[in-house]
Amino acid sequence: MIAHVSSWVLPITGPPIREGAVIVDQGRIARVGPGAEVLRGFTGPVEDHGNGAILPGLVNCHVHLEFSALAGTVPPQIRWEDWLDEALDGYGGLSAEEVEAGVVRGIEAVHASGAALAGEVTNTGISLPHLENSPLAYHLFYECLGFDLLEPVDLEEIFPFLGQAAAEASSPVSAGAHAPYSVSAPLFRAIGAWNQARRRPQTVHLAESRGEEEFLATGDGFFRDLLLRRGRRVGDFQPPNLAPAAYLDSLGFLHDATLAVHGVWLSLEELDRLRRTGAWLVLCPRANRYTGAGTPHVQQMLESRVNLALGTDSLAGNWDLNLFGEMLWLYRHYPAAPGELWLRLGTINGARALERSDEFGSLEPGKRAALGFVLLSGDGDFWGELFAAGAEGRFRWIS
Ligand SMILES: [Zn+2]
């Protein structure tokens, strides 16, 4: 057993603890509380980290590690459509070795910046063996695309990776849906059924760009052109004439084990629908700014009381994979919200979204002792300093 103490301990599921202590026993949290109480009678080693905060490892709910090799090569864009073109072109120019080396660097960056658990979206599955051999815990979403799959779909026949993953009952692997403009209705149903049969969470990009709404309403616009350019059959597509969340809801795809990512262009009515289904909305605000998708309506999201978690998205569409950066951005843009809210989104909410809150997301007895520490001066505003220090890379693992 070892005790970690510092001027602050942030349990997340309880208020911050001044002069707090966390006792770790064989990789698990044994006790958390004020040092004066927790350390009474404790005879093991005590590691005093000094001025700063002990906190649980973060939960980054949305990354694409495969795009890590594109770091710095796709500049920030004004129009999301231009970003997509550049990112797809860039990815097409990478060798398999470059992609794999990027995955390894991406895992290292996500973990070093403070995440204990990540929701990884993959199109190839190549990140899986690397994640298995890393200290970063993960949930892998194997992303399915297929706008021209118009008959009932045998998912494992079309995506054999899922057949292999399904063989392992305890494997943290799900089927993921790319987006309403790239996944047909029968494919959405097959993905939903596959995940539900295994009681695993699922994910989908939702309302990231404005064109999605137009495409679902009229069958026209940027996405029709994109599908045609990529040789997909769209001639017989009957637009549902529904808003994006309403469309997914009509397919039974929205429920409390669904992570809908971005939601930049969801109306208040759509946010309310999402809340009623219990689905999670994963915010990636810096990524939305980087790619030109827009600025998420965070105030409306908070007012709607939809379940919120955080992600960074990829190095093709963000400055880094550091979740503290998303928290800092939110903290600076929404000063009326309590600072601790953003840390909750990046810890316990993410752990609940990925259905791993029995192990991650807070400092509570029995959970995995994935503890980090951020050195703080204690001057000025606590949350602002914490998020800025984390965003500058001053998080370090202590257990
Ligand atoms: Zn994404």
**Are 228 and 103 within one domain?**
yes
Domain identity same for 266 and 377: no
Q: What is the helix (H) or strand (E) element at residue 34, kind and residue range?
A: strand 28-34
CA distances from 176 to 253, 329, 344, 389, 394 (A): 11, 27, 25, 33, 33
Verify that 71 and 108 share a domain, yes or no.
Answer: yes
What distance in angstroms lies between residue 62's CA and the mean position of ligand 1's atoms?
6
Residues whose CB is less than 8 angstroms from the CB of residue 260 and which lie 6 or more positions away in sequence, other chains included: 203, 204, 205, 206, 245, 248, 254, 274, 279, 280, 281, 282
What single DSSP character describes residue 308?
A: E
Supply the DSSP string of 248-304, one letter for each residue: HHHTT--STTEEEEE-TT--HHHHHHHHHHT-EEEE-HHHHHHHT-----HHHHHHH
- CA distances to 86, 180, 299, 305 from 268, rounded to whole Å, are 31, 19, 10, 11
What is the CA(86)–ligand 1 centre distance, in A? 15
Q: Is the pLDDT of residue 165 over 80?
A: no
Amino acid at 377: S
Tokens of 132: 């298995």
Cβ-based neighbour number of residue 236 at 10 Å? 7
- Ligand 1 centroid–CA 205 distance in Å is 6
> How many domains does the chain divide into?
2
User: Separation of 321 CA from ligand 1 center, angstroms?
Assistant: 12
* 70 and 22 within one domain: no
Tell how far the Cα of 178 is from the centroid of ligand 1, in angstroms.
8
CATH number at 37 reads 2.30.40.10
Cα 91 to ligand 1 centroid, rounded to whole Å: 14
- Same domain, yes or no, for 235 and 369? no
Give the Å distances, CA to CA, from 66 to 71, 87, 124, 171, 282. Answer: 11, 12, 8, 20, 19
Residue 25 domain boundaries:
2-56+362-397
CATH code for the domain in which residue 232 is found: 3.20.20.140
Residue (of 264, 281, 315) closest to 83 by Cα position: 315
Question: What's residue 326's pLDDT?
Answer: 98
- Tens of pLDDT, residue by residue over 213-268, are 999 999 999 999 998 888 887 777 889 999 999 999 999 999 999 999 999 999 99
CA 351 to ligand 1 center in whole angstroms: 18
Same domain, 178 and 212: yes
β-bridge pairing 17-25 and 2-9: antiparallel
Q: Give the whole-angstrom CA distance, residue 89 versus residue 98.
A: 15
pLDDT at 166: 72
Residues 12 and 38 in one domain: yes
Check whether residue 275 and residue 302 sit in a common domain: yes
DSSP conformation letters of 213-237: HHHHHHS-SHHHHHHHHTT---TT-
- Ligand 1 mean position, distance from CA 282 (Å): 10
Q: Phi and psi at residue 371, in whole multiples of 5°?
A: -105, 135
- Tokens 């637009």 belong to which residue? 239
Res 39: pLDDT:
97
State in Å: Cα 238 to ligand 1 middle: 26
CA 35 to centroid of ligand 1, rounded, Å: 41
What is the model's pLDDT at position 231?
83
Rounded-to-integer distance, Cα 20 and Cα 38, Å? 8
Distance 332 CA to ligand 1 centre (A): 23
203 C-alpha to ligand 1 centroid (Å): 10
300 and 384 assigned to the same domain: no
- Alpha-carbon distance 183 to 141, whole Å? 15
Give residue 299 CA to ligand 1 midpoint distance, Å: 22
pLDDT of residue 380: 82
Tell me how far the alpha carbon of residue 37 lies from the centroid of ligand 1, in angstroms. 44
Cβ neighbors of 276 (< 8 A, separation 6 or more) are: none
Q: Calculate the CA 41 to chain-centre distance.
A: 41
Residue 98 region by backbone torsions, left for phi larger than 0, else alpha for psi between -120 and 50, else beta: alpha
CA atoms within 13 A on the CB side of 137: 19
Contact (Cβ atoms closer than 8 angstroms) between residue 230 and residue 84: no
Q: Are residues 51 and 65 in the same domain?
A: no
- State residue 378's pLDDT score: 85
What are the backbone dihedrals phi and psi of residue 137, each rounded to the nearest 5 degrees, phi first? Answer: -75, 155
In percent, how much of the chain has pLDDT > 90?
93
What local confidence, expressed as pLDDT, does residue 150 receive?
86
Ligand 1 midpoint to CA 2 (Å):
39
225 Cα to the center of ligand 1, angstroms: 21
298 and 370 belong to one structural domain? no
Please tell me the distance between residue 284's alpha carbon and the centre of ligand 1 in angstroms: 9
Q: How far is CA 296 from the centre of its chain?
A: 15
Ligand 1: distance of its center to the CA of 314 in Å? 7
Two tokens, residue 6: 């510092």
Residue 87 CA, ligand 1 centroid: distance in Å = 12
State the pLDDT at residue 230.
84
Amino acid identity of 287?
A
pLDDT in tens, 74-99: 999 999 999 999 999 999 999 999 99
In which band, very low, low, confident or very high, does the pLDDT at 71 lie, cut at 50, 70 and 90?
very high
Residue pair 208/264 in contact (Cβ under 8 Å)? The answer is yes
CA of 264 from ligand 1 middle (Å) equals: 13
Give φ, ψ of 381 to 5 degrees. Answer: -80, 125
Q: Say if residue 22 is in the same domain as residue 115.
A: no
Between the CA of 76 and the centroid of ligand 1 the distance, in Å, is 15
pLDDT at 171 over 90: no
Residue 168 confidence class, pLDDT cut points 50, 70, 90: confident
